[in-house]
């Protein structure tokens, strides 16, 4: 597969999100490695908190259906998430929990069919000293449970308020290299696997 297509998902909807800045650097790494990347703007994919009664009465939110379709059309995903009390965010989990639910149309196929076997990369960023590394471990497990293949490369950006510039700059070369390597690794694995389903 010459040009893998990747999604980029941010677990923070905040407009000045440090994770969004970190994700942008990982996206550049993926693009340099040959990928086309689609950024999923969180505010365009707003979903209610998962509720089984709501799903039974109304089906999936239309944003979840759109995201399931986007996963079908892409070969992998780069995920950035803040750390909230040692965990990845409820926004990220709620979004992907909805995506994992059965596809519309009554076939009974789980939404994870469009994730299974596709590569994923993880970055975290925090103004704190640990950069979100604790959330990373939980996010890695969660993404694996969804069937994604999480690449070993990862980047946790500490002191993100000092290291990441709003102009896309990264003041520390090692951090820059680690963020780009996550995107590059997802791109290369996606190209090697050629897994796109739809």
Ligand X SMILES: Cc1cc2nc3c(=O)[nH]c(=O)nc-3n(C[C@H](O)[C@H](O)[C@H](O)COP(=O)(O)O)c2cc1C
**Cα–Cα separations (whole angstroms), residue 9 to 56, 73, 104, 107:** 27, 15, 22, 27
Closest separation in Å from C-beta 63 to ligand X: 20
Instruction: For residue 178, give the 3-state DSSP assignment.
Output: helix
Nearer of residues 113 and 156 to ligand X, judged by Cβ: 156
Nearer of residues 50 and 84 to ligand X, judged by Cβ: 84
Nearer of residues 8 and 149 to ligand X, judged by Cβ: 8
Closest separation in Å from C-beta 163 to ligand X: 12
Nearer of residues 59 and 86 to ligand X, judged by Cβ: 86
DSSP 42: G
Alpha carbons 92 and 89: distance in angstroms, whole number: 5
The per-residue b/e assignment along 152-161, b for 16 or more CB within 10 angstroms, e otherwise, is ebbbbbbbbe
Nearer of residues 128 and 198 to ligand X, judged by Cβ: 128
**Cα–Cα separations (whole angstroms), residue 161 to 67, 156, 158:** 30, 13, 8
Q: Which residues bind ligand X (CB under 6 A)?
A: 12, 14, 17-19, 82-86, 126-128, 130, 132
CA 167 to chain centre: 21
Alpha carbons 32 and 37: distance in angstroms, whole number: 11
Closest separation in Å from C-beta 91 to ligand X: 10
Closest separation in Å from C-beta 179 to ligand X: 14
Closest separation in Å from C-beta 23 to ligand X: 9
């Amino acid at each position: 597969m010459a040009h893998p297509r990747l999604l980029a998902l941010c677990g923070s909807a905040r407009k000045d999100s440090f994770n969004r800045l970190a994700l942008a650097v990982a996206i550049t790494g993926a693009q340099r490695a040959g990928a086309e990347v689609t950024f999923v703007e969180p505010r365009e994919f707003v979903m209610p908190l998962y509720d089984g009664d709501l799903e039974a009465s109304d089906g999936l939110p239309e944003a979840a259906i759109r995201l399931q379709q986007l996963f079908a059309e892409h070969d992998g995903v780069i995920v950035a998430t803040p750390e909230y009390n040692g965990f990845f965010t409820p926004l990220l989990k709620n979004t992907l929990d909805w995506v994992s639910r059965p596809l519309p149309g009554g076939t009974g196929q789980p939404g994870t069919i469009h994730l299974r076997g596709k590569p994923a990369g993880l970055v975290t960023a925090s103004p704190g000293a640990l950069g979100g590394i604790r959330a990373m471990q939980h996010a890695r497990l969660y993404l694996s449970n969804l069937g994604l293949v999480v690449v070993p490369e990862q980047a946790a950006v500490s002191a993100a308020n000092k290291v990441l510039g709003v102009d896309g700059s990264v003041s520390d070369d090692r951090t820059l290299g680690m963020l780009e390597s996550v995107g590059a690794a997802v791109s290369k694995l996606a190209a090697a696997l050629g897994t796109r389903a739809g």
